[in-house]
Structure 1
Amino acid sequence: MEDKLPSSRRLAYQNKRLKTLLEKYKQSHHLQNALIQLSERASTVAELTLLYPAIHDILQKYVPSKSFYVVLQNQQCQTLELSYFSDEKDGIAVPLNHSNSFDEGATGYVFKEGKTTYFTKQQMQEAAANGLFKALGTPAEHWVGVPVYQEKNIIGVLAAQSYDVNQSYNSQQIQLLEVMSLYLATAIERVKKREYLESEVKIRTRALTQSNDALNLEVANRKRALQRQQILFKVSEIATQAKNLDDAYVKIHGIIKTITYAENLYIALYDKDSGWITFPYCVDEYKENTQPRQFAKGYSELVISTEETQLINPEKAQALLNSGVVQRSAPVPNKQKATSWLGAPLKTSQGVIGLIVCQAYNNKHIFSQDDNELITFVSHQIAAVLQTKLANQAIAKSHQELEFRVNEKTKELQQTNLHLQMQIEERKKIEQQLYHDAHHDSLTSLPNRSLFLTQLEKTLQHFQRFPERQFAVLFIDLDKFKDINDQLGHQAGDQFLINVSELFSQCIREHDLLARLGGDEFVILLTHLTEPQQAEDVANRIIDLMKKPFNIKGTLLQSGASIGINYSKQSYKHTDEIIRDADAAMYHAKNSGKNRYELFHPLLTQSIADVGQKALHHLDVMPMSFRSSEIITLNEQQQSESLFEAFGEHPILGFTSFEVLKKFATDKEQHLKVELQLLECAYTQAINANVAMALVPCSCLLLEKHEFTLFVDVLNKQRGPSQLCLLFDEQEIRHACATQLENLKQLSLLGYSIGLNNFAKDRCELNLLTDVNFDYLLLSSTFSKRILQQDSYDLQLQGVLPITKLKKMKVIAKGPSILNFRVLLEKHGLSYFVGKQHTLACPESQPEHVSQSV
C-alpha cells in the first residue's frame, strides 16, 4: 500500500506537467500562426494604411481587440502620432481633438516606461488620480499597452482595450501582443521601404521623360529595387516552405548566390548566455565544416561585437591584426587566407543571434560596397526567418519529447490502472473507518460526544421549526462503577461498560441515538415522541435491566443507573442547556437514592439552590482536609515529591471535592464566592499541613475580566510558604474566550504555578500545551489507562512528551490504582504518578477517603 501511493502521486504530478507542456505548445502554435500571417501581410500590402487593418484582423482571431490603435513617434517633433485607430465607442475625432493627448495619456505612460502595462478600469482610474497620466476618452473595462521597439529603441505603442467587464486579457494574450509588437517594427520598415521604392519608381519614371540617361539610370535603379524586393519575397517564403533548419540554410545560400559571389559561405549562431559560436552551415573549398568555439577575437566576433557589416580586404586584415582587434590562435596558410571577406550580423529585436559570411580566395572576387549594402539589406530578413525556424525547431523537439513521454506514461498508466483502482477502493474504506473512529467511542463503538451533540443540534433546530415533533434526552450515570474498577481492575470495568452499552441499545428504537459521553456517563436522544411517558418507559426498562447482577470474570456484580430526563422546550436555544438540565436531573436522582430516574423541573434548580445556601452557610466552619497522593518521580537522584489534592468534609454534602461544592452555586456571584472561599481554605490548610505542593481545582469563571481581579487579590493575600498549583480543566480551557486565555497566561507571568487537569480525556489537543506555560500536566485517568491498552494512545503520548520536555512541564499519570502500573508506564516515558497502590484482594487497604463522582 505504501509503495503504491508515491507512484500514484508521481503519475499525477507527471500528468499535470504534461498538460502544462501541451498548453505551452498550443500557445506557441498560436504565436507561430500569427507571425506567419503578419509576415505574409507585410509582404503583400503596398502601404502602411493597409498594413494596420491587416494586423488588426490577425489580432481579433486571438485577442479581444475590437478597440485597437497604433501610435508611433514623430522623429522630427518627438511627439506621439496616431497611425491607426479603431474603437467601439469613441470615433477618430476624440483622440484628434486633444493636443498631445497620447503623450499625456496611458499610451504616453507606456511609451515612457518602455514596458507592457495592463490596467483594469479601477486601476486606470487610480493611476490617473495619482497623476501618472490623464484619463482620456471613454473609460475601458480592460486596457493593455505594448511598446513597439526597433532594435533597442522604442518607436511607438500598440494598444488594445475592451469595454466588456468579463472580457479581460490573460497572460497568453498579452504575450501574443508583445510578440506581435516585436515584429511590427520590422513589418513597418518593410512596408515603408516598399512605399519608398514605389515612390522612387514613380519619381524616376517621371524623370525618364526628361533625360535618356536619367531614364536608363532610373530603369537600373528600379530593376535593382525590384530585385531586392524579389529577394525579400524569397527570404520570406523560406519561413513557410523550408522543411527544417538545414533546408532553410540551403535555400538562403541559394538566394545569396543570386545576389553576389557566394561559393564560400557559412552561417554562424551566437549564444550570448554561454558565449559559444556554432556553425550549423558551412560550404567552403578548404574546410568541410567549422567546429564550435568560445567567443574570441576573430572576424566573426568583430561583426557580432560591433553589430555592423564588415568588409575586410588584406590591408584591413593586417591593420586589425596589428592593432590586436583580431587575433589568430594559429598561423593560417597563405593559400587558405581569404583575399576578400564580407560578414553581416543577423540582428533581431533581442540582439545579434549570429552572422552570415561570404569569402573569396586567390582574388577570385572582390566584394564591393554594393555587395555590402545588399547583404546588409537581406540579413535582417534572414535573421527574422532563422529566429522563427529556431523557435519552431525547439517547439518540434519539445513536441517529440512530449509525445514520447506521453506514450511512455500511457503505458505506465495502463499498467498501474488496476493498482490505482484498488488503492482508491482501499482509501475509501480507510476514510470511512477514520470517519467512524472520529465519531464513535473506541471501547463500546457507540457514538461519542461529538456525534451526539451534532445530532442533538439538528434535532433542536428541527424542533424549533416543527414544535409538535417532541424529543427527550436521558442522561445516565452508572452506580458503583468506580468500585468495579477498583476491585476487579480496569479491564473488567471496560467489559462491564461494553455489556451495559449492549443492554441500553436493546431498550431504544432504531431511530433513537445512544452515545457514551465518557467514563460511566451515557446519553440517549429519543425523537418522534407522541407522549412523554415513552421516555419514562425507556428509563424504567434500563433501571430494571441494571437491577440484575452482572457476571464479570465469574464475579457477580450489582450496579444500577441514575437517570435524568429532560424534555424538549421552546425556551431552549442551545444544546448545552439541554445537557445541563438533564445532568441536573440525573444528580437529583443520584442524591435521591440512586438506581432511579428524575424528570427535570425548574423547581429542581430551586432545591439545589437551597442546598447551595446551606453549603455557603457552613463553608466558613467546614473542616478542610487533604487527600494525600504521592508523586513518584524516577530521575537521576531517585527523588520523590509529595502532592496533595484539596478536599473538604461538608456537614451537609459529606466528603466531597471542590467541583461538587461549586455545582451547588446557583448563580455566577454565588459560584465566585464559593471558589474564592475554598481557595482561602486551601491555602490555610496547605500551610498547616506543610506540604510541598497542593493541587486546587479552579474554574474558568475566575479568569473572566472582573472576577480575575478578585482572584489575584486573594492569591496575593494568601501567598505563603506553601505552594498551590491552580488546576484548570482541559474542557473548560478548550472553550475559554480570548480574555480568559490571556488572564491564564498572566497567572504564569505573575509567578503562580498552574496546571492542566484531565488532559486528553476526550481528544488530544497539542495547541493547549504550546500556547500556555503550564507547570503540571495531569493526564486523565482514562488516557493513562489507555496508554497500556491501545497503540494509538501511546503514539499520542509520544507526541506530547517532546513538547512538555521543551516547555519544562511535569507530566503526571493519575488514577485510583495507577501505581500498580508504574513500571509499565515508565517504559512509555512517564516518570510522575498520582494515586494510591491498591490491593485487589484487600479492599480494606484502600485509602480512607476516595472522591465519589457526583
Structure 2
Amino acid sequence: MTTINPAEQLTVEELRELVPQLQQLTEKYKRAELVQKALFDISELASSVSELGSLYPAIHEILGELMTARNFFVALYDHNEESVNFTYFVDEFDELTLRSFPAAQLKRGLTGYLLRSGEALFLRHETIEAQLKGLDVENIGAAPVDWIGVPLKKGRQVIGAMVIQSYDESERYGEDDLEFMLFVSQHIVNALERVKSRELIEKTIKERTQQLENINSELEEEISERQKIEQLQQALFEISELSANVEGDMATFYASLHDILSRLISAPNCYIATLNEAGDHLEFPYFSDELTTEISSRPLGRGLTEYVLRHGQAALIDTVNVSDLAVQGEIDPQTAGNMNANFNSWLGSPLIVEGEIYGVIAVQTYNENKAYGHRDLELLRFVSHHIATAMERKRAAEAIQRTNQMLEEKVRERTEALNRTAENLRKQIEERKEIELRLIHDAHHDALTGLPNRVMFNNRLELAVANKQRHKEHNFAVLFIDLDRFKQINDTLGHHAGDLFLIEVAKRIGKCIRGHDLLARLGGDEFVVLLDNFETLEDAEDVASRIIDSLSRVFVLDDKEMYSGASIGIASIEPWYQSADEVIRDADAAMYQSKSTGRGRYVVFDKSMREKLLEELALENEFRRDLREKAFECYFQLAATLETKEPLYFEAYIRWEHPKLGKIKRDQFYKVAEDSGLTLELDEFLIGQACALLRQWQYSDGPEKRYSIAINMSVNELVQPKLIDKILDFIRASGVNPYHLLFEFDESQMNRRSQHILPALKKLKKAGIQLVLDNFGSGLASLSYLYSYPFDYVKIDHRFVKSLPRSQKNLKMIQSVLNIGEHLNFKVIAEGIETAQQFRELVRIGCLYGQGHYLEPARKLSIKAPAKATNS
C-alpha cells in the first residue's frame, strides 16, 4: 500500500497561507536565540568586567543588538542617602549635567514612578498623556515617541530603573521589547551586583594593599630607627665596658672609643684634646687624622677646639658658617681658610665631669659629600657625655655592679612573687567558677539525695502547665509522695539512718519512673514526680502502684530491718491550671485524702476534693476570726463524786455555732485548730476564761469559792518550755490560785510526744496545777503513763463506760485501773456517764468519781467583767 504525504494534499494557496506563519515562527526563534545570546553576554560581562563604568556601555551595546536603544539610561536608588544616581545616561536631546539627584525631586517623574511603584511602564506616543494622568506623574525631559522603563529589583527591594526611549516615529517599540526588558532586568541586576561586589573587593584589596604598603614603609622606618637606637645602645654599652675593663693603657682605650664612634657616625679623623692642669694649654692624648700624623701640645688660641671650650656646648663648624665665625672673631682666619680649602666639616663636643669642662672630643671629614648634620651633632653631644664620665664610671664600676646584682635579685624575687600571685589568682578564679557552678547546682538540687529540689521542680512544672495550655493533647501528671514512719526511723535509729533511708527511697522511686520523668525532693519525707507525656491516667496510676509496692519492701538500715510505705496523691495537669503551685496543692490534697482513707495507697485528685478543701479553708478562716474576736461560747461540764454528786471540778470547753453550718462538733473544730496551728491560741483563750471565772468565784460567799476548773490543753505546750513559763506567768498575773486549775492532756497526743513532756509536767505540778490524763485507754501503752507521770486524775475513755453493763471485759479493765489508782495515789474518773444503769454499775465496782450528762448537763456560766478601780 502506498502512503500519501499530507503535504502533497495541500494546495498551492494553502501553502502560501502557511508561509507568513512559518516566517513569524522563524523570527520568533531568531529572537529567542538573540535573547539567549544577550543573557550569555550579560553573564560573561559579570565575570569579565571589573568596574561598573565599563559594564553599562557593554549592556547598552547588547540591548542595541536586539532593539533600537540609542536613548538609554540606568538610574540606581541609594536608600541610605535618599538619592538617585544616573550611573549611565545616553540621550539624543537631553543632557545630564548632574549625575545625582535627591529622590524627592524625582518622585513625581517617570523614573520616580518606577522606583516607588516597582512596576514596569510602557508609554506610547498616541496614549502618553492619558497614561500619565492615570499614573499621576509628571513627564520630565523631552517628550518621547515610545518610552519603556523597568525597575531593577534585588529581591523585593527596588534598587534602580532601566529606561529606553525613542524620539523617531520610525523607531517604535512593542510588547516584545517590554517583555525582553523585564526578562533581562533581573539578569542585569545580578550582573550589576556581581560587578559591584568585584569592584568593592578590588577596591578593598587596593586600599588594604596601600595600607599594608604604608604600614610596611612605617615599619621599615621604625626598624631603621630602632637599628640606629640599638647601635647607639650597643655603643654606649661598649663604652661602659671599656671604662670597666681598661687598666691603664689609655691609648688602647681612646682607640676603642674612636672605633665605636666610627660605627655611629662618619669619623675617619678623630682626636681628644684636654686642658692641662694650668688650664692654658691643650694636650692631645689621642689623635688620628688622614692629613696630619702628629700633633703637639699648644697654648690656647682661636681654634675650633677653643671655640667649644669657651662656649661649653657642642658645635658643628663647616664651610657654611666658618667664615661668619672668623668675621665675628671666634675663629682665626687661617683656620677658616684651611677649612674652606679642604672642604672641612668638623664636630666637637665638650667633655664634662661633675660640671667641669676638662677637654673636647672632635671628629672631622675632608669630603664635601660627607658633611655632618645636626643629627650627627646631637649624637656626638650625647656620646661625649658618656665618654667624659667613662673614667668616673670605671672607678664606680664595682659599686654599680654590686648595685645591679642587688637590683636584679630584687627584680627576680618580685617577678617570682608576681608569678605566684598570678597563679594564685588563676586558681582562685577557677575555684570561684567551680563554686558558682556548684552553687547553681546546689540551688536546684537536694543536698542529701542529689535530686532536683522544689525550685527546679517548680520551674519544670511551670513549663508543663504552659505546654498543656498550648497543646491539650499532651498529658502530664504530678505524684505527691509522703513516706510512712519516717519520724519513727529518725527517732529510733538516728538521723544518719534517716538519711540513708531517704537516699534508698530516692533510688527506688527513680527505678519506677522513665528516664524523661522528673523526680524531686521537696523536703523532709516528701517527694514529687512529674510524669511527662503518657497515654492515659491509668499509666500514672500504674507508676504510683509500682512506687507503693517498691517502698513497702523491707529497708536494711544500720544492719536493722525497717518497713515503711507511702501515700500518694495524683493530680493530672489540665488546661485550666494557671501555675505550678496549683498543681502541687491539688496533688498534696489527694495525698492527704489517701492517708486519711488508709496508708499505702494512692488517690487521684478530683474537683470534689477541691470543693472540700475550699470549705475547710473557709471554715479555718471563720474559726480564726471568731477566735480573734473571742466569739466562742464557753461551757462547763461537771466532774463530781458519784454518791453525793459533790462537785470535784468543772471541765471548761467551748462551743462553736457556725452561722450557716450550725453547731460544729467539738472534734471537728479542734482538728481545724490543730491543722491551722491555732491550738496554742485556743488554749490561751480557755485559760483566760477559766481565770476570769475563778476570780469571780473567789470573791463570792457561796460554795463555788472552793470549785476548780479543768482545761483541755494541747500537748504542743509541753514541748516548748517557754510556752509553759508564759502560761504560768499569766496565771500568776491573773491573781488566781493555781491549785484551782486542772490541765487535761489527751492520751493519744501524748503517744506522739511522750519523750519530751515529762519535764514540763513536773514544772506544772510544782506550780500547783493539778494534772489529768484524759481519754485513758484510747491510745497505746497507756499503763506506762500511770507509772511514769505525776497525774492527779485519770479519766476512763467514754467508750469503755458506754459499753456498761453489757461488756464485762471493759468492766474488769475499769476495776483494774481503780486498783492501780489506789496503789499509785491517783483518782479515777469515769467519763461519759449517760444512763442510770451505767451509773449504778460504776458505783457497784467502787468508782468514786464520774462525769457525764446523767450527773449534770453541760451549762454555760456567765463571766462578769471585773469592776473598774476607783480613786478614793
TM-score by length of 1: 0.30
User: Which protein has the larger Cα radius of gyration, Structure 1 or Structure 2?
Assistant: 2
TM-score, with length taken from structure 2:
0.30
Q: Which has the higher contact order (CA 8 A, sep 6+)?
A: 1
